[in-house]
Structure 1
Amino acid sequence: MNNLSLTQSELQRLLKVYFGLVLAVALCFYFVLAFLGYEALTAAWRAISYALTCVTFIVGVFFKLAWRFPRIARWMRRPIVHGVWRGTLSSDYKLGDKAPLEIPIVFVIRQTYLTISIESFTKFQEGESKLEALIQNGRTEATRLSYVFELRRQYQGENKLTTGAGDLRLINDSKHLKGHYWTNSPTFGELQLELISRECDGVDCFEVAERIWPTTSIKSPSA
């Protein structure tokens, strides 16, 4: 089960809207049922039941799908990061006198209005987020995606688990993510990612992304 990625004020606002809608819809059902001749208590009970069912279904569909329309997302001040992102991981890790590593990487971010999950894939390593937060500064409108993750490396007999954290800024009309990460190895580095698709279905490893988008390359966005 994914963690909620809403702030406390956002969650409180959603609960107020939800119960307000239930009350409004229940009143409409009540007047219709009363007009049809139902007793007051029976009409009230049925109206509340119908309202809870209808509003829960509509809100569920909205939170999962409808809010992703760009205009609705901007109106609700909930940036969209859902999709497949591809780019470069630049690490401070060095092997001898060689230059720092630069590795192609793919992020698969699945987002509903309430939750976010992140998977990352390189040729020899995969990871997933354990805690996520989409943070928007109300004064500057800057948006950051922060997360805690685990990496699993299984290569040439090695079976290694690494934990870390990342902090990425959403820039360039929400088409790029750029920022830094840290691990307990200890290593740190920079990530630059470009949105290549809003469709995540079936993208479950680096090879699949490489096969579907073989020529996609990251461009260096300006901060």
Structure 2
Amino acid sequence: MKKEEIKLIVSISIAIATILGISYLIILDKSFDLSNGLRAISFGITSTTFFWTFYFTYGWKIWGLDKVFYRPNLSGTWAGILRSDWKDENGNGAGDIEFYIVIRQSFLRIHFTTFTDSFIGTSYSETLSLKKETGLKNAAYLYRKETSQDENEFLQEGATELRIIESNPKKLEGKYWSNQKTNGKIDVSFISKKIVDSFNDAKTLNNNGK
């Protein structure tokens, strides 16, 4: 969490606790003595704690409340294509590859799982680069091939950087690099809030949406 976000949380917390504490005294027609003042403070702090618990769990995704912090909700399944510069010994490329990204996101964490018909990649280091003043929204992550796949093969790893485009539907566009000396482009669109766990499930979800 950035320093600016922490400062905003502190400012909002003070404002909410103060407003609710004063409201407690006014609505219940309490006198402004030490005992009632302590109860008002306790009420304000408790209410603020409940608010942030709700916000960090659900509220940050809700329209209106999602404006409190500059943080897009990417959770769900995305479908599109991957274009790789890989070529076989005869110089033939793979062409456009059917590609899916499944994103699991909470307020503080984000995780990427990617699927083709022959590859599953899982992220192990993720970051969101969000700059409100410029409108920049990027996601980047390091990934490796899921270890349940062909464990005797050379460990495939790489990095991906994606630009977040808040269109309708939302899109992710960018590039990837791998330790197999290949790279390429990724172009996917948001298709569902549903989280799936396989290429076939993602493909079915995509086809049912068409």
> What is the match of residue 187 of structure 2?
192
Match of 2:5 among 10, 24, 34: 10
Moved more, 10-19 or 82-91: 10-19
Note if contact 1:167-1:179 (Cα within 8 Å) is conserved in structure 2: yes
Matched, 1:88 2:81: yes
Unaligned ranges ≥5, structure 2: none
Deviation at 1:193, TM superposition (A): 0.6
Note if contact 1:30-1:47 (Cα within 8 Å) is conserved in structure 2: yes
Counting only pairs closer than 5 Å after superposition, residues 24-35 of structure 1 correspond to structure 2 as 24-29=19-24, 35=30
Q: Percent identity?
A: 26
Match of 2:173 among 178, 190, 195: 178
- Aligned equivalents of 2:167, 2:67: Cα separation in 1: 12
Note if contact 2:5-2:69 (Cα within 8 Å) is conserved in structure 1: no
- CA 1:56/1:119 → structure 2, altered by over 3 Å: closer, same or farther? farther
> What is the match of residue 117 of structure 1?
111
Note if contact 2:79-2:206 (Cα within 8 Å) is conserved in structure 1: no
TM-score under structure 1 normalisation? Answer: 0.75
Instruction: Give the aligned residue type for 1:164.
Output: G
> What is the match of residue 163 of structure 1?
157
- CA 1:14/1:75 → structure 2, altered by over 3 Å: closer, same or farther? closer
Counting only pairs closer than 5 Å after superposition, residues 31-180 of structure 1 correspond to structure 2 as 35=30, 40-41=34-35, 43-70=36-63, 72-74=65-67, 76-97=69-90, 98-100=92-94, 102-152=96-146, 154-155=148-149, 158-171=152-165, 173=167, 175-180=170-175
- CA 1:18/1:123 → structure 2, altered by over 3 Å: closer, same or farther? farther
- Aligned equivalents of 2:44, 2:166: Cα separation in 1: 42
Moved more, 161-170 or 7-16: 7-16
- Aligned equivalents of 2:38, 2:122: Cα separation in 1: 45
Please report the RMSD computed on the Cα atoms of aligned residues, expressed in angstroms: 3.1
Unaligned ranges ≥5, structure 1: 1-5, 218-223
